[in-house]
Structure 1
Amino acid sequence: MTAAPEVAVRECAELGEGPTWDPASERLIWVDILSARVHTYHPSTGRRTVMATGQHVGAAKPRAGGGLAVVLRDGIGLYDAAGAFTWLVHDPVPGRRGNDAAVAPDGALWAGSMRYDEAVGGGTLSRIAPDGTVTCALDAVTVSNGTGWGPDGRLMYYIDTPTRRVDVFDVDGERVTGRRPFVLAEHGPGWPDGLTVDAEGCVWVAFWDGAALRRYTPDGRLDRVVELPVRRPTACAFGGPGLRDLYVSTARTGLDLPHPLSGSLLVLPDAGQGLPGVPFAG
């Protein structure tokens, strides 16, 4: 039985996204895309930081040598441990921005993009190697969202939100092949957004406009629904001591009467067992 959600950080993020646990600093990293800010939170002390990026920021991931990799409107940026910024990939496309991202077991960054007007097929999903080499894996994505890998690294899960599916790929070295539906979410409330995979190989999915997280077994069976007090959860990630707590980012954008906790970072204590994350190797 999963514990009821609690408030980790009360915030009014417009579009909170991408919670990521950084084990090196024992902190939770997440972003507010539309406010162009990267947030961090140390559960052991309650310490918080907020950093402005100057551009809409779809994701922020820890780097192996310290600092952050950020998925910005105009490409992939790097902050070093001292806070100095450089571009790893600078590829501005009018009307397009970066969105959700994840780091693969091999240390590569998989970053999505989307059109501001959400035009069908206007986004991409790309693999960014540590040296900045970009390989486009999918070139007809609409709203690129959740990406994650199974415990043995042989499967990759992926969400293009308007499809109302969670898809799964076979991992073949640096490539993914054999795309097929893992979960069809056509009839439930909400739209699949961000995801994380736990140590049992189950896939947790945040449902935008669905006010819930849903957990699916490795064979695609729905086995748990966690109702949330907010209408627009966006993504989830395990963190905290032993990777037992499940953190949930939320949004308030587009809501006429948002719940008071919309935009806050929520946590489900002792929700399960997460997988250790990998920092970006670049």
Structure 2
Amino acid sequence: MEEHAMSESGLTVAWRAGTMLGEGPVWIEEQQVLLFVDIHGGRICLYDPGRGAGRDLPCTGRPSFIYPAGADSFVYGSNRELRLLSLTGRDERLCDLTVPEDTRTNDGAVDVHGRLWFGMSHVPETEPLGGLFVYDRGEVRQHLDNIVVPNGPAISPDGSTMYHVDSPRGRISRYRIEDGAPVDGHLHVQIAEGDGFPDGVTLDAEGCLWVCLWDGWGVRRYDPDGRLMREIRFPCARVTKLALGGADGTTAYVTTARTGLGDAELREQPGAGSLFAFDAGVAGVPAAHCALP
């Protein structure tokens, strides 16, 4: 395949959202919409595939993930706090996070028990001051540390397995979750130098892991043993995270970024910052709801 060419997947631009750092797509089954964030743009975006249109929701700071927390409530991470949002416009602080000042929330996931797992990233992305935290009905605990940019996690539907990404080191690790804590971590996939950096990860209904590659021009699917099964090439370099949804549950929605790209790169990558879609051929795992106190 020619470098950076479209693949046989039928990859399309769903919405030219123009995100600086699009991240964290999550399919909301109840409303049949996709939510995602633009961290550097300070946006929470809602895409309605039924209308083929998107819009922004009011938010605060630099949102980095968003998950359902009730019929019309959503929890999102922003800077050094967790916040609550509703589609009717409510936006209020849920809790402050006791973390270093030069960190911010990054990627997240909710497990079947309603626990919100999320990473804190070093803001200049140079020092290992980040880690993995969990919000459990009002209590916040830290489980992993010494991480520069944590991504994921992705958690199995039964809540027993977690995949966690150390992006600068190219490592995707697999953990057992035991008594609410990740244990027995070991390397699951190592992304080779020059292939990009692993960013967001997502599990599908067959237990396979979808990995987006920052500066890697694509998305990969790995089987439960860590073997590469499929790769979809993108027309832009900074591919960030994938969610499975749509009317039949098998549409892959993928966020991308334009931050840090120069004028010449943006001319080469006019789709950078868009929301892309393709037929994944496999269903996703419904998003769990974050349990509030």
* TM-score, L = length of structure 1: 0.95
Q: What pairs with 1:249-268 in structure 2 (closer than 5 Å)?
A: 249-256=255-262, 257-258=265-266, 259-268=269-278
Secondary structure of residue in 1 paired with 2:182:
strand
Secondary structure of residue in 2 paired with 1:243:
coil
Distance 1:82 1:11 in 2: 21
Secondary structure of residue in 1 paired with 2:248:
helix
Q: What pairs with 1:184-203 in structure 2 (closer than 5 Å)?
A: 184-187=190-193, 189-203=195-209
In structure 1, give the amino acid aligned to 2:132.
L
Q: How many angstroms does 1:174 deviate by?
A: 1.3
| Alignment correspondent of 1:127 | 134
Distance 1:65 1:112 in 2: 25
1:281 aligns with 2:291: yes
Q: Is the 8 A contact 1:67 1:82 kept in 2?
A: no
Distance 1:18 1:12 in 2: 15
Distance 2:87 2:283 in 1: 29
Aligned length: 281
For residues 30-52 of structure 1, the C-alpha deviation after alignment (integer angstroms, 9 at most, x for no partner) is 00000110000111122422024
Secondary structure of residue in 2 paired with 1:170:
strand
In structure 2, give the amino acid aligned to 1:197.
L
Distance 1:153 1:115 in 2: 27
Q: Is the 8 A contact 1:6 1:268 kept in 2?
A: yes
Equivalent position to 2:69, from 54, 57, 63: 63
* TM-score, L = length of structure 2: 0.91
In structure 2, give the amino acid aligned to 1:16.
G
Distance 2:221 2:166 in 1: 18
1:236 aligns with 2:242: yes
Distance 2:288 2:140 in 1: 19
Distance 1:169 1:182 in 2: 9
| Alignment correspondent of 1:115 | 122
For residues 205-250 of structure 1, the C-alpha deviation after alignment (integer angstroms, 9 at most, x for no partner) is 0000000101111001011111011110001110101310011000
User: Which range moves more in the overlay, 57-66 or 101-110?
Assistant: 57-66
Equivalent position to 2:112, from 105, 122, 125: 105
Distance 1:81 1:219 in 2: 39
Q: Is the 8 A contact 1:195 1:204 kept in 2?
A: yes
Q: Is the 8 A contact 1:238 1:245 kept in 2?
A: yes
The unaligned stretches of length 5 or more in structure 1 are: none
Q: How many angstroms does 1:151 deviate by?
A: 4.0
In structure 2, give the amino acid aligned to 1:191.
F
Q: Is the 8 A contact 1:126 1:137 kept in 2?
A: yes
Equivalent position to 1:142, from 131, 138, 148: 148
In structure 2, give the amino acid aligned to 1:101.
G
In structure 2, give the amino acid aligned to 1:169.
Y
- Alignment RMSD: 1.6
Q: Is the 8 A contact 2:241 2:254 kept in 1?
A: yes
Q: Is the 8 A contact 1:35 1:56 kept in 2?
A: yes
1:83 aligns with 2:89: yes
- Counting aligned pairs with the same residue, the percent is 34
Secondary structure of residue in 2 paired with 1:275:
coil
Distance 1:41 1:230 in 2: 20
In structure 2, give the amino acid aligned to 1:64.
G
Equivalent position to 1:42, from 41, 44, 48: 48
